[in-house]
Structure formats: structure tokens, C-alpha cells
Amino acid sequence: MQTIDEMTQNFKAAQQNPVGWCREVLGVKTLTWQGHIDILNAFTTHKKVSVKSGHSMGKDFISGLLSLWFLYSFPESVVITTAPTARQVEKIVWGEIHKYWQAKLGGKVLSTSIEILPNWYALGFTTKDANQMVGKFQGFKSRNLLVIVTEAQAVDDSIYEQIDGIMTSDNSYLYLAGNPTRADGEFIRSFSDPSFKTFTYSAYESPNYIAGKEIIPGMASRAWVEHMERKWGKESPMFKARVLGEILKQSANSLISLESCYKSLNAMPTKGWRVLAVDPARYGDDYTAFVSMQGGKMIECETEHGKPTPETEGKILAKLRKGHYDIVAIDEGAMGAGIYDHIDQVLPNLKDINGNSLDIRLVPFNFGSSPQDKVQFANLGTESYFKVCNQIEQGMIQLADDGDLFAQLSARKYKFNNKGQMILESKEDLKKRGLPSPDRADALVMACSLSLDDGFVENKKEREETEFDAHNIETDEFGCPVIEDIEVYA
């Protein structure tokens, strides 16, 4: 039986050596990377630590170890773990805690809690819970307190205000960890706050990347990093945030920030038409993209690669049969004209999966055609991108959580031609910067340009009596856009 003095000495020893405690008491064998060691040791000299990094750099691994070390090294302590989603709290962070907890440590263990005594425990809940229950953090004051916030970039500033309100004791600690996919907010501001010890880790620093093989299970691999280089491009904001761990700075000549794309996940979408937009590609590196919108709500984004034209046409028709669409739009670019013509022939006799006739309008979309505002924009594509990106910024469009789409939207730049018109960066210039073709973004812009058209009428009967003219695009007798005889910038 240990004396009180012996127990006190053991506590002090553990408090001063988190790395040794995790290795010896928890038996952690993968605590070998210097980055992880530095983060844990920072808590022996600092009360606030903030970590931004690329994907799969062990931030949650550290959250789990940190929770157990603090709980069992500081008597009568309280550990709070929080994150934006239940999955992040229950499966990720508490998954790490359960992985390393051992019965010899003691305490009653549940899915997101450990209780040693009524005033000595660890607990996890989402920031959504905290927002719905104002003041939920208030009951967690303790002389030994640790608050862990993961996916910290996605946590509202109001939550950080609640956290500040409970960190009143001299022995209160805070750990923030996330990917810097926002340009502002409390998490980002922590990296210029002198009260924080901060760390930034690129996926290029992962032991697995450096060795070209798995050294620490779960950390970013060389194959993953190289795949992201090809998929997003090294110059894209998504790559910089998710791979390099860099704080985003929106370029002065970009249409939308990565942060705005993420914010749109919580937007209240505007009502409108149900639209399927298709950006066809046949061979090479490009993908055929299918985007479905219901007004401002993104329903689906799907891509396929290397499919022959008949397969693409068949997929479009299959989607139309079961999708209850009002409009189908097809990019009439090099690969789209033939697909448009075939769909135009088949559509009048197409029936849904129950054998009912369909009333779907087929709309050609040509990014290089003449815009409505010929003074400000060089072509319809630039005008449409500008309008849709503004609608995303205004909260009219709710995007699906699609990292590839966000990367394409936020990477696209614009410039001004010699007429003073805004013009989008060409796909050729994108590829020179090492960025992929914006297939998903193009399909989204087409879909939103039509789904949020001012001519939308919610009542079906009135809709049938309303003449549809999505962009006031003048067409010839074959349904193709009439392009004025002016210089067009592709």
C-alpha cells in the first residue's frame, strides 16, 4: 500500500514525463516520431498547445494518449474532449482512448467517459451538443482541467468562448488540433497567440513518407501524398491545407476560398429546379462528371474515367429515368456535342422506371459562348462561375462534402483580358500549374446556373405554363447556342 507521499511523488513524476508514462504505463510502442514526442512534452512547459498539420499525422493518436496521461497523472482532474461530429468524438478520439486504456488504471469506462470519482473523470461530447445546450461547458471547472478540441478548424468561435469560461484554475490546459482549411477563426488565431505553443507538420515529414514504407501505422504514406499531388495539384488550396498543413490565404484573383466551400456544408439552400448537369470527357486524364442539384442543395457528384460515349449516354438516360429531373444540361464542348445530339433524339420518348412519360428540358451549355453581361465577362463560363461562387458565399447553395470539388473550385483563378473583361484561367494554364481539369467544378457550375434560375416556379402546373429560358441563351433551329461573331476566350 503506497503512502500519500509516495503517491504524490508518482503523480509528480508522471506529470513531468508524459512520453515515458505513455511508453511504460500504457505500453505504447509507436510513440517514436519526434513530432509526437515534442507535442506531448510541450505540456510540461506550456498550458496551451495548438497543432496544425496535413492529413493522417497522428493528431488524434496524441489526443488519446494525452487524455489518459492527464487523467491518471493529475489527481481529481477533469478531461473534456470535443469535436464537431459524433464520429470524430466517439469513433476517432475515444477509439484511441479505448485502444490504450488498461484495466489496471482503474475507473468505470463507457463509450465516451471514464469515471474514477465523481470529481475525477474524462468525458467526450460534440460541439453541436454544446451549442444546443448553452453553458454546457460551465459545469466542468476543476483545479486540474484539460480540454481537447479536435477538428478545431471547424469549431465555432462561440464554443471557444465557452471553453475560455471554464479555464479559470492555474492548472488548466488546452489542446487544439486540426487541418487549417479556414483562413480565420480561433484555431487559426492561436498560431499568432504568444500564449500558445504551436506546431505545424507537413505530410512530407511523416516517417512513412520519408522511409517509403510503413513505420508508424496510420500515418500518411508516400503513396497517399503522391496520389494527392496528382489529384489536387501542389498549388491547390486543398493540397496546402490537407497535405502541407499551411494556413490558407485566398488569392486576390480566386473566385472562392476553400473556407467558403466548407462553410457551405451548413447553408440553408434556396429552392429551385432539379437539375442533372454533365461535363463529358472521353479519354486522357479528364473525368466525366455528373452533378445533381435540387435548387441550391447538392444531391450528388459522381465521376467516371475512360468510358466510351455510348456508356456515358446510357448513364445519363438511366439517371433521368429515376431522378425526377426538371432539366438536364450537357456541356457542348469537344466531347459533349455528340452526346447532346443523341440525348436530344431519345429524350422525347423517354419514360421513367414506372413507364410514365417524362417532362425534362434538355439545355446545351457552352462555356465559351457569349455572356449576358458582355461588359464585365469574356464568356458564359466566367460569368457562370462568378455568379455561382457568389451564391455559395451568400449561403444560397449547400454543397456536399467533396474534397475534390472544393479543391477544384478554390484553385480556379481569373484575370482580365485587353477589353477589361474578367476571364477564367484556362484548363491548359491549370495543367501548367500541376492542377487537374476542373470537371466536378464545371458540372456544379452548370447545374447551379440552371437550378437557381430566376424562372423557377414551385407549383408543377404553373411550371408547365412558364417558358423556360435559363440564361436567355439564344439558340438556332437545332437548339444550339448562337455565338456572336466576336473574339471568344476559351
CA angle 104, 137, 56 (to 5 degrees): 60
Q: Is the same domain home to 269 and 156?
A: no
In angstroms, how far is CA 94 from the centroid of its own chain? 22
109: pLDDT strictly greater than 90:
yes
Q: Which of 170, 201, 224 is the last residue of a domain?
A: 224
Residue 361 belongs to some domain of the structure: yes
Domain at 174, CATH number:
3.40.50.300
Q: Is the same domain home to 20 and 164?
A: yes
CA dihedral for 465, 470, 473, 478, sign (positive or negative): negative
Of the segments 12-21, 35-44, 277-286, 337-346, which one has the largest average pLDDT value? Answer: 35-44
pLDDT in tens, 384-425: 999 999 999 999 999 999 989 999 999 898 988 888 889 999
pLDDT in tens, 158-205: 899 999 999 999 999 999 999 998 877 899 999 999 999 999 999 999
Query: For the residues 20-43, what does the mean pLDDT come to?
Result: 96
Contact at 8 Å (CB) between 56 and 223?
A: no
Contact at 8 Å (CB) between 441 and 405?
A: yes
Number of structural domains (the chain) is 2
Residue 471 belongs to some domain of the structure: no
Q: Is the same domain home to 318 and 447?
A: yes
Looking at residue 432, its pLDDT comes to 86
Kindly state the cell numbers that stand for 439.
Answer: 470537371
- For the whole prediction, is pTM greater than 0.85? no
Q: Is the same domain home to 263 and 218?
A: no
In angstroms, how far is CA 345 from the centroid of its own chain? 39
Q: Is the same domain home to 41 and 161?
A: yes
Q: Is the same domain home to 348 and 398?
A: yes
Looking at residue 30, its pLDDT comes to 95
Alpha-carbon gap, residue 94 to 445, rounded angstroms = 40
Helix (H) or strand (E) holding 195: none
- The three-state secondary structure class of 460 is helix
Residue 483 belongs to some domain of the structure: no
Number of H helices, E strands in the chain: 20, 15
Looking at residue 284, its pLDDT comes to 67
Residue 241 belongs to some domain of the structure: no
Q: Is the same domain home to 293 and 432?
A: yes
The domain of 370 spans 258-465
Alpha-carbon gap, residue 149 to 70, rounded angstroms = 15
Lowest mean pLDDT among 112-126, 161-175, 241-255: 241-255
475: pLDDT strictly greater than 60:
no
Residue 95 belongs to some domain of the structure: yes
Residue 481 belongs to some domain of the structure: no
Residue 291 belongs to some domain of the structure: yes
Domain at 351, CATH number:
3.30.420.240
- Reported as a pLDDT band with limits 50, 70 and 90, residue 457 is very low
Residue 305 belongs to some domain of the structure: yes
Q: Is the same domain home to 180 and 272?
A: no
Kindly state the cell numbers that stand for 294.
Answer: 435540387
